[in-house]
Structure 1
Amino acid sequence: MSEAVPPAREAPFLFTLAGVQFAHVLDFMIMMPLGPILMAALKIGPHEFGLLVAAYSFSAAGAGVLAAAVVDRFERKGFLLACLALFALATLACGLATDYTFLVVARCLAGVFGGILGSLIHTMVGDVIPFARRARASGVISSAFSLSTIAGVPFSLWLANHLGWRSPFIAIALMGAVVMLAGWRWLPTLRAHLATPHQGHPFTAAVNVLKDANHRRALLFSALIIFSGFTVIPYITLFAVSNVGIPQADIPIVYLVGGAATFVCARLIGRWADRSGKVRIYRLLALLASLPVLALTHAGPSPLWLWLIGTTSFFVLVSGRMIPAMAIIASAAEPRLRGTFMSLHGTVQSLAMALASSLAGFLITQSGHGQIEGYPLVGYVAVGANLLAISFVSRIVMHGANGKA
């Protein structure tokens, strides 16, 4: 069920969705490089910090279940803009938090609406963009991750270092308001999914999605991918500062270089996957991604240039594999249930993030000298999940894949 937009409006459509993606991805990402600052300011340890990261994801998972029951009953644009407004308010509350408990609650609220936004973005891409160009479109959306690391994270860290840790959240809330205006102007009204009557209990659509074995396989595939990344990602900055010897002042450079490389590669990977086959390119990138995962989690004291090689490779490959993977996952959904499927997909992703960061938080400890211990074990867990995902991808059937899958 496709609702094509005129060619002249396709680029503004994608870039507006990328702006929404940028805002909610940055809101999630900034917690990780802020780790050392927050731990010192709030007087918390690695386990409490892991809970702070997981709070966003657990609440996003719960919200996804509720959204799956209703998302295909609403027009897409209005639903997205409403969630974006509530997300901005929740992020503002993070910046106004007075203590650890307040911040955890605010992160939960931000996770509720951020998680719904993530699934809505890919739902709208699936509604509008034909399969033949869908990986390329996913590359545009994924470039928001790169931009958040190139510009968003370094600027947010600069704000945190000069104006305090609250300032990045206030800035993201303001950004959400600006993106809302762009969405009102450039996003099309999408109603084709409403042509099929939705009868019965609100959770009927979610049950119908889960009854389909292909949907279940796609959701498990997604969970494995996310789990393999987010066991490692939340603690990279903390490990770099505590064990590798990278000064906190140099952390923005890590995100700037890694994000720039990922931004350049994202669109190239999207075109490559459309041309050479999404499954084939996913497998190649995912297999290569295991190398920097192991290198980073086993690193000892290193100069900045060597750490940059490892982290840049990690950013490019770990995020790059998601480009063909998201095209595969979105195409696994029955078109009439795509909104519900993608909401459940957002739930599965958020739950996988939360479980991964929580598990890693329990596996690692902080020694009396402030060093992180147990990170190599986290790396092995990540690689194991990654290899399972690689072995699983061929079992997913993609709707509309008339050419190379």
Structure 2
Amino acid sequence: MREARAVSGDKKPSVEGALFAVVVLTAMNLLNYIDRWVPSAVKDLFKADLHLTDTQTSLPLSAFIVVYMVASPIFGSLADKAPRKVLIAAGVAVWSLATAAAAFADSFVTLLVARAAVGIGEAAYATIAPAILADYFPPEKRNRIFTIFYIATPVGSAIGFVLGGVLGEHWGWRAAFLAVGLPGLLVALLALVMRDPPRGQFDAESAPPPPWSLALRQLARNSQYLYTVLGYVAVTFATGGIADWFATYLSRHRGFELAQAAGAIGQAAVIGGIVGTALGGVLADRLKGRVRQPYLFVSAVAMLPAAGLAVIALYVVTEPFAIMACITAAQVFLWMYNAPVNALIVNAVDAGMRARAFGLSILAIHLLGDVLSPPLIGAISDATDGNLPLALALVPVFILLGGVIWAVGWRRVD
């Protein structure tokens, strides 16, 4: 698999509508993560209301991710044939309605089905949006654009925790689902007026998308893609576990109120996520020409302090201020991989393969990452008489593992 290459100077790509597309797609990314993490902020509330176990409270998140990861390669294929903005608009509408529908759940099964349906909608957006942005900007600008786009990930996660905690404490968990679900319908309408740029306009001419059997063989031989995604899997395992369980940990073991815990995590995610995503993107670009594979280098090095600070926040400090200072600092380092890793995936493949490459990476990071970690942590907690701190030891271990994989890739990828 050859890397995408810039087009020659005689080609005149069109960037009309690029700014509008960045705004609309970044807004989708923001809403995506708000919707995704509200359940984690209110899990003790619907646990009591629906009479669930710890393991069951994490299964709706896993059900969402299972559907999300299975549907992502499907939408990656559909994007080769259908209008991409129509697919995205339909996806955003589906996930928004499904999020709101969770407010009417009256049992574990109905909550599970509603959250699973969110995955269908999010799969359409997550596989196609990066490919559209790549078609608006040349390779040398993509890391900067993805830095803007992916800043919405920690900010949306933070808003989800804060809004979920506040709404849940004052008006109940059902109000939280309803309030964050419906605004997505407006963004779906905006997607329909967004311009769909010519595919691969900034890249060397590439072959039509191959069949999945050939695409898988090509990606399996692409060392940059493999190391990037394998490290991404490990870090996603860790972030899925801490995102789903840290508010509960603070409430049960550190004496935080629900809204206080959700608000503290939200603040840490906003500060750490914005600073980390921006710092990682800028630093990786600044190191071009000075360090080989700077995107992998920055991602690998940042995981060591992230893992160490997570250990301190979980097991060493007990005062609220110290806990939040450590987890905020950990978030800064943890989010430094965000823009570089996604830019690596885009630049590792030809234009015709991008939606499929993202679809497959989504399948991998969730199938082997945050599908497993929340219920596994819940199961360990249940099996050890509620020893959630022990179960959360998986988090720093997998952060460190992700860094090791990226470090090996940094040494081996040409």
In structure 2, what is the equivalent of residue 90 of structure 1?
A: 98
* 1:67 paired to 2:83: no
Distance 1:211 1:375 in 2: 33
Say if 1:23 and 1:383 are closer, same or farther in 2 by CA, change over 3 A: closer
Distance 2:269 2:210 in 1: 46
Say if 1:208 and 1:86 are closer, same or farther in 2 by CA, change over 3 A: farther
In structure 1, what is the equivalent of residue 192 of structure 2?
A: 184
Q: Once the 2 structures are TM-superposed, how far is the Cα of residue 208 of structure 1 from its aligned partner?
A: 5.2
Deviations 1:99-156 (CA, angstroms, capped at 9, x unpaired): 2110001111111221332222222222222222222212111221232245443223
Which amino acid in the other structure matches residue 20 of structure 1? M
In structure 1, what is the equivalent of residue 291 of structure 2?
A: none
Distance 1:365 1:114 in 2: 31
Q: Please, which moves more after superposition, 354-363 or 82-91? A: 354-363
Say if 1:274 and 1:326 are closer, same or farther in 2 by CA, change over 3 A: same
Which amino acid in the other structure matches residue 92 of structure 1? A
In structure 2, what is the equivalent of residue 307 of structure 1?
A: 323
Q: Please, which moves more after superposition, 377-386 or 277-286? A: 377-386
Distance 2:336 2:209 in 1: 39
Identity of aligned residues (%): 18
In structure 1, what is the equivalent of residue 37 of structure 2?
A: 29
In structure 2, what is the equivalent of residue 402 of structure 1?
A: none
Q: Once the 2 structures are TM-superposed, how far is the Cα of residue 59 of structure 1 from its aligned partner?
A: 1.3
Q: Once the 2 structures are TM-superposed, how far is the Cα of residue 237 of structure 1 from its aligned partner?
A: 0.8
Q: Once the 2 structures are TM-superposed, how far is the Cα of residue 385 of structure 1 from its aligned partner?
A: 2.5
Which amino acid in the other structure matches residue 303 of structure 2? A
Which amino acid in the other structure matches residue 364 of structure 1? S
Q: Once the 2 structures are TM-superposed, how far is the Cα of residue 223 of structure 1 from its aligned partner?
A: 1.5
Distance 2:72 2:158 in 1: 29
In structure 2, what is the equivalent of residue 391 of structure 1?
A: 407
Distance 1:22 1:383 in 2: 24
Aligned with residue 132 of structure 1, among 110, 129, 140: 140
In structure 1, what is the equivalent of residue 246 of structure 2?
A: 236
Which amino acid in the other structure matches residue 54 of structure 1? S
Distance 2:406 2:200 in 1: 32
Aligned with residue 245 of structure 1, among 240, 255, 277: 255
Which amino acid in the other structure matches residue 347 of structure 2? S
Which amino acid in the other structure matches residue 294 of structure 1? V
Distance 1:197 1:190 in 2: 18
In structure 1, what is the equivalent of residue 49 of structure 2?
A: 41
In structure 1, what is the equivalent of residue 305 of structure 2?
A: 288
Q: Once the 2 structures are TM-superposed, how far is the Cα of residue 367 of structure 1 from its aligned partner?
A: 6.8
Say if 1:211 and 1:281 are closer, same or farther in 2 by CA, change over 3 A: closer
Q: Please, which moves more after superposition, 47-56 or 359-368? A: 359-368
Q: Once the 2 structures are TM-superposed, how far is the Cα of residue 205 of structure 1 from its aligned partner?
A: 6.2
Say if 1:191 and 1:132 are closer, same or farther in 2 by CA, change over 3 A: closer
Which amino acid in the other structure matches residue 230 of structure 2? L
Distance 2:214 2:93 in 1: 26
Count, aligned residues:
393
Which amino acid in the other structure matches residue 263 of structure 1? I
**Residues 363 and 378, structure 1, Cα contact 8 Å, conserved in 2:** no
**Residues 363 and 377, structure 1, Cα contact 8 Å, conserved in 2:** no
Q: Once the 2 structures are TM-superposed, how far is the Cα of residue 266 of structure 1 from its aligned partner?
A: 2.9
**Residues 377 and 392, structure 2, Cα contact 8 Å, conserved in 1:** no
Task: Look up the SS of the partner of 1:232 in the other structure.
Answer: helix
Which amino acid in the other structure matches residue 280 of structure 2? I
Which amino acid in the other structure matches residue 90 of structure 1? A
In structure 2, what is the equivalent of residue 213 of structure 1?
A: 222
Which amino acid in the other structure matches residue 197 of structure 2? L
**Residues 68 and 205, structure 1, Cα contact 8 Å, conserved in 2:** no
**Residues 304 and 403, structure 2, Cα contact 8 Å, conserved in 1:** yes
* 1:355 paired to 2:372: yes
**Residues 47 and 57, structure 2, Cα contact 8 Å, conserved in 1:** yes
Q: Once the 2 structures are TM-superposed, how far is the Cα of residue 207 of structure 1 from its aligned partner?
A: 3.6
Distance 2:244 2:132 in 1: 29
Distance 2:13 2:330 in 1: 35
Which amino acid in the other structure matches residue 285 of structure 1? A
Say if 1:4 and 1:169 are closer, same or farther in 2 by CA, change over 3 A: farther
* 1:364 paired to 2:381: yes
**Residues 241 and 392, structure 2, Cα contact 8 Å, conserved in 1:** no
Distance 2:13 2:178 in 1: 36
Distance 2:334 2:231 in 1: 15
Q: Please, which moves more after superposition, 187-196 or 107-116? A: 187-196
Q: Once the 2 structures are TM-superposed, how far is the Cα of residue 242 of structure 1 from its aligned partner?
A: 0.6
So what's the TM-score if we normalise by structure 2?
0.85
